[in-house]
Amino acid sequence: MIDLHIHSNYSDGESSVYEIAKRAKALNIKSLAIVDHSIEYSRGLNEKKAAMRLKEIDAAASTFDLKIYSGIECSIDVDGKILLPKFEFDFVVASVHECISSLDFYTRVLKCLENCEFQVLGHLFSDFFCFNEKIEELDLKLLELMREKDVAVEINSRHKCPDENFLIMADSFKIRYSIGSDAHSFLEVGKVGWSLEKAKRYMKQSKMFIP
């Protein structure tokens, strides 16, 4: 099993890297990624915290014999920009955490795809952040850009998105997909059943994203 979206107490998660790794080992998860929020968030992962977290990740990975990736989740701002600390991560997730309309949402994501370097689009179209209306022609534009930039779509079990229509389209574009629980506590690590079920059902040609 795999879970590539877990928050630790280095941002807004409740659990330590050690507790997360211990839980992953107990659940027989072979690879996991800790992706804490970036510096746009007041308790986010600055350069110093990223370095401290990496030490804990390496220690836990060897204690429990696991593959633990060091990632980060950046918010896409109103201009489509993301903020990163000066640090080398295994991969970067970019997600929208606020928007005023669907058009605002698409504009942020499209600009971000055009101008920023990242590997995974997190919880795309989550209605938790007031996304409400799909615009098909912008979906196509988005998928074309994702293919061009080789950006994976996250299938997120916490937000239960994207929907099946988008996944079917993503599969036809052979967009890679990433599996994530978006856990904020060690108890939620590995809760990716929804993601795996959708991937099995809809992702026939697409490959799984591995950092």
Contact mark string toward Zn ion, 123..162, x via CB under 5 A: ----------------------------------------
Nearer to Zn ion, 29 or 94 (CB): 94
* Residue ranges of E strands in the chain: 2-6, 31-37, 67-75, 91-95, 120-121, 152-156, 177-180
Task: Indicate whether 182 belongs to the interface with Zn ion (CB under 5 A).
Answer: yes
Of the candidate spans 66-74, 104-112, 142-150, 161-169, the one that interacts with Zn ion by CB under 5 A turns out to be: 66-74
Strand 91-95 versus strand 120-121 pairing type: parallel
Instruction: Report how far residue 181's alpha carbon sits from residue 211's, in angstroms, rounded to the nearest whole number.
Output: 16
Q: Is 211 exposed, middle or buried (0-12, 13-18, 19+ CB in 10 A)?
A: middle
Contact mark string toward Zn ion, 24..63, x via CB under 5 A: ----------------------------------------
The CB-of-197 to Zn ion minimum distance in angstroms stands at 20
Report the run of H or E that residue 175 belongs to, with start and end. none
Question: Among residues 107, 101, 47, which one has the least CA distance to residue 77?
Answer: 107
How many of the chain's residues bind Zn ion (CB under 5 A)?
3
Of the candidate spans 12-20, 93-101, 190-198, 199-207, the one that interacts with Zn ion by CB under 5 A turns out to be: 93-101
The CA radius of gyration of the chain, in Å to the nearest whole number, is: 16
Please pick, from the candidates 95, 156, 178, 181, the single residue that binds Zn ion as defined by CB under 5 A: 95
SS3 183: strand
Of the candidate spans 20-28, 58-66, 70-78, 142-150, the one that interacts with Zn ion by CB under 5 A turns out to be: 70-78
| List of residues contacting Zn ion (CB under 5 A) | 73, 95, 182
